[in-house]
Chain A
Amino acid sequence: KQEVTQIPAALSVPEGENLVLNCSFTDSAIYNLQWFRQDPGKGLTSLLLIQSSQREQTSGRLNASLDKSSGRSTLYIAASQPGDSATYLCAVTFSGYALNFGKGTSLLVTP
Chain B
Amino acid sequence: DTGVSQDPRHKITKRGQNVTFRCDPISEHNRLYWYRQTLGQGPEFLTYFQNEAQLEKSRLLSDRFSAERPKGSFSTLEIQRTEQGDSAMYLCASSSGAGGWTDTQYFGPGTRLTVL
Could you tell me which A residues sit within 8 Å of B by CB distance?
Answer: 4, 31-32, 34, 36, 41-46, 49, 51-52, 89, 91, 93, 96-104
Contacts and interface: CB of A to CB of B under 8 A. Distances in A.
A4 B104 contact: no
A57 to B, nearest CB: 11
Given A97-B33, A100-B45, A43 B110 contact: yes
Given A34-B104, A44-B91, A96-B48, A103 B110 contact: no
Most buried by B among A31, A44, A100: A44
Contacts of A44: 43, 91, 93, 107
Contacts, number: 63
Contacts of A31: 101-102
Contacts of A42: 109-110
20 contacts: A31-B101, A32-B101, A41-B112, A43-B109, A46-B104, A89-B42, A91-B43, A97-B56, A97-B103, A98-B33, A98-B48, A99-B33, A99-B43, A99-B45, A99-B105, A100-B45, A101-B42, A101-B43, A101-B44, A103-B42
B52 to A, nearest CB: 16
Contacts of B31: 97
B107 A34 contact: no
Nearest to B6: A43
Interface residues of B, number: 27
Given A96-B56, A97-B48, A34 B105 contact: yes
B108 interface: yes
Contacts of A4: 42
A46 B42 contact: no
A23 to B, nearest CB: 11
Nearest to A46: B104
A51 B102 contact: yes
B56 to A, nearest CB: 5
B66 interface: no
A43 B108 contact: yes
A93 B102 CA distance: 9
A51 B103 CA distance: 9
B23 to A, nearest CB: 11
